[in-house]
Homo-oligomer: A and B are copies of this chain.
Amino acid sequence: MGSLPLDALQPLDPDTFAADSSAVVDFLAGYYRDVDKYPVRAADLEPGRLRRLLPEAAPEFGEPAERILADVRRDVLPGLTHWQSPSFFAYFPMNASAAGFAGEMLSVGLNVVPFMWVASPAAVELEAVVVDWMARLVGLPDRFLFSGSGGGGGGGVLQGSTCEAVVCTLAAARDRALGRIGHEGIVKLVVYASDQTHATFQKGARLVGITPANFRVVPTAAASGYALTGAAVRAAVEGDVARGLVPLYLCATVGTTGIGAVDPVRELGEVARRHGMWLHVDAAYAGSAAICPEYQGYLDGAELADSVSMNPHKWFLTNMDCCCLWVASPAALTAALSTDPEYLKNAGGGKPQAAAGAGAIDYKDWQISLSRRFRAMKLWFVLRRYGAAGMRAHIRRHVAMAEWFERAVSADERFEVVAKRRFSLVCFRLRGGGGGGDAMNRELLAAVNASGRAFMTHFVVEGKFVIRLAVGGAMTEMRHVGDAWELVQRTAEQLLQRR
């Protein structure tokens, strides 16, 4: 490996590549062996620690890979929060896997850019195939597929995040509406979501130029399991229409971030249809569960939606980043997002772009950016390496662990489960009314996280502070969930005794 003399900088020399890469594979295999020995959340929470360890400027001369890896081990690892730790229960899982890694390595190594069909035909076609595979697995109607038994007509794309998917579909809906009412009407457009919808929806709406005063945050309640009801949306829409505003876009969530609530897709779809709104179904986390028949009912009514998205990078063993976005009308999307400058025209030969129906898709017109990564390879690798049956087992294993945790919490009278568990997210708290209870739960969470032996996050439901335990790590086994519960119990005991 060694340092490279300047006149011999051969950045893709196969032997150096293999040697450096093998060293990284060994490093990572060792990391996975030891990851449960690190504090889950970075132990040293002093801002500026790493910055102080590193020089102000890049080195003038190159260094061997071993030395860089040694610095990663010494300086970087202790400052990381370990998302792949089996005791990481915070936020939502962000799955890594051997297959996701292998697929991503292929994509990174080939480093092709499937932004237009001609720029990498097989990469584009693999993406079209794999999004169809995923659509079938989660039981989406044919209208979201390129090739369905009913003819398809829609199609999917792999983006980096739900936020991007929301921005793209909002832009599509907006431009469709502005084509009707003129661009000055942009200040009249209104978007709808619930108080449980992910905050990035409002960020996305703001990004595409919707007036912040026109974001409707429709309240939810315990009675409906914190789901958005059709009646509440209808009331909000009718009020806006009466004031001369234009309903644009409704975001339904299957598996909200806070507590995993599920909005009724069919009911909301009917309201959206009646008022000419774009309906997007955000199944970022829970969409993975829909590969199991027992969860597909949550997507019932999806045929009334204009777009659906889910993130294989969360709970589907696909390393960051990978978000499936399916649309019923690719034309609506590309009308808002296409560009056709001279330097991208296909004058140098090859098939005309008109052949999109046959698979010659220019994905640059389906997303924000021009350039893009070959994300299809890793999702394809995951699906082939583990198979649909393996992936279902993966999902059910985590749900079973969450069920166990939920039962354990319910069986301890000091605790309560808050909001119904539907997937692998359990929301719970120490009983005790009012602000005192909240302070105690905050203390409990802080102490659990400070132990370094588990990492959880929180949410606030109807003013009450609740602790979220999201099961889903690729290395999480029953014993880790059991340890987490013991840790919570023991920490709570200490807190309660001190009072």
- Taking a contact as CB atoms under 8 Å apart, the answer to whether A457 and B20 are in contact is no
Determine whether the beta carbon of A133 is less than 8 Å from that of B57. Answer: yes
Q: Is A290 an interface residue (CB 8 A)?
A: no
Closest B residue to A342 by beta carbon equals: B460
Contact with B along A61-76 (1 / 0, CB 8 A): 1110101100010011
**Total copies of this chain within the assembly:** 2
- Asked whether B50 lies within 8 Å of A347 as measured between CB atoms, the reply is no
Query: Separation in Å of the A340 CB from the closest CB of chain B?
Result: 7
A160/B163 in contact, CB under 8 A: no
- Contact flags (1/0) for A150-179 with B, using CB distance below 8 Å? 000000000011111001000100110000
Say whether B258 contacts A45, CB under 8 Å. Answer: no
Binds B, one of A107-115, A239-247, A482-490: A107-115
A200 an interface residue at 8 Å Cβ cutoff? Answer: yes
Q: A9-B386, A11-B386 are in contact. Are A50 and B343 (CB under 8 A)?
A: no
Q: Which residue of B lies closest to A356 (CB)?
A: B47
User: Which among A10, A133, A457 has the greatest number of chain B C-beta atoms within 10 A?
Assistant: A457
- Interface of chain A, main secondary structure: helix
Instruction: Give the contacting residue for A317; candidates B11, B257, B377; CB below 8 A.
Output: B11
Interface residues of A in 252-268 (CB under 8 A from B): 257-258
Chain B residues near A232 (CB, 8 Å)?
Answer: none
- List, in ascending order, chain B residues with CB within 8 A of A11's CB: 95-100, 317, 386, 394, 474-475
What 1/0 flags go to A6-50 for Cβ under 8 Å of B? Answer: 110111111111101111111111111100000001101111111
- Whether the Cβ atoms of B370 and A98 lie closer than 8 Å is no
The answer to whether B321 touches A373 (Cβ under 8 A) is yes
Chain B contacts for A87, CB-based, 8 A: none
Residue A137, interface by CB 8 Å: yes
Name the one of B28, B65, B258 contacting A342, with C-beta atoms under 8 angstroms: B258
Shortest distance between the CB of A55 and any CB in chain B (Å): 9
Task: Known contacts A106-B72, A371-B161; decide if A98 and B187 are in contact (CB<8 Å).
Answer: no
* A479 close to B (CB within 8 Å): no
In whole angstroms, how far apart are the Cα atoms of A9 and B393 in the complex?
8
Partner of A203, one of B50, B119, B337: B337
Q: Select the stretch in A296-304, A325-333, A408-416, A442-450 that faces chain B.
A: A442-450
**Is A224 located at the chain interface by the 8 A CB criterion?**
no
B112 & A104 in contact (Cβ 8 Å cutoff): no
Report if A273 contacts B (CB, 8 A).
no
A21 in contact with B25 (CB, 8 Å): yes
Knowing A14-B29, A129-B51, A343-B468 are in contact, say whether A206-B80 is a contact too (CB < 8 A). Answer: no
Q: Which of B84, B163, B208, B371 contacts A208 (CB 8 A)?
A: B208
Residue A305 CB within 8 A of the other chain: no
**Given B104, B126, B341, B360, which contacts A199 in the complex, CB threshold below 8 Å?**
B341
Q: Are B369 and A161 in contact (CB under 8 A)?
A: yes
**Contact of A381 with B by CB under 8 A:** yes
- Determine how close the nearest CB of chain B comes to the CB of A457; give it in whole angstroms: 6
User: Are A9's CB and B373's CB within 8 A?
Assistant: no
Given contacts A355-B47, A388-B59, contact A186 B209 (CB under 8 A): yes
**Interface residue? A419 (CB, 8 A):** no
- Interface residue? A223 (CB, 8 A): no
Residues of B contacting A72 with CB < 8 Å? 106, 377
Check if B14 sits within 8 Å of A18, measured CB to CB.
no
User: At the interface, yes or no: A235 with Cβ under 8 Å from chain B?
Assistant: no
Which B-chain residue is minimally distant from A78 (CB atoms)? Answer: B122
Determine if A128 is an interface residue (Cβ-Cβ < 8 Å). yes
Is A17 in contact with B98, judged by CB distance below 8 angstroms? yes
Contact between A50 and B81, CB atoms less than 8 A apart:
no
Give the complex CA separation of A134 and B112 in angstroms: 25
Interface centre among A80, A108, A258 (most CB of B within 10 A): A108
Q: Is A226 an interface residue (CB 8 A)?
A: no
Shortest distance between the CB of A226 and any CB in chain B (Å): 13
| Residues in B neighbouring A202, C-beta threshold 8 A | 339
Q: Within A357-390, which residues are at the interface with B (CB < 8 Å)? A: 358-360, 368-373, 377, 381, 383-390
Q: Does residue A430 face the partner (Cβ distance < 8 Å to B)?
A: no
Is A320 a contact of B373 with CB atoms below 8 Å? yes
Bound complex: CA A390 to CA B5 (Å): 8
Contacting A9 at CB < 8 Å: which of B46, B48, B390?
B390
8 A-B pairs whose Cβ atoms sit less than 8 Å apart in the complex: A11-B96, A17-B29, A49-B122, A59-B384, A67-B384, A79-B123, A90-B348, A175-B206
Contacts A9-B397, A10-B475, A62-B384 known; 19 new A-B pairs at CB < 8 A:
A12-B32, A20-B385, A28-B106, A41-B349, A50-B122, A58-B134, A60-B387, A79-B120, A79-B121, A80-B120, A83-B112, A83-B113, A84-B111, A171-B206, A186-B186, A203-B337, A203-B370, A349-B446, A349-B449
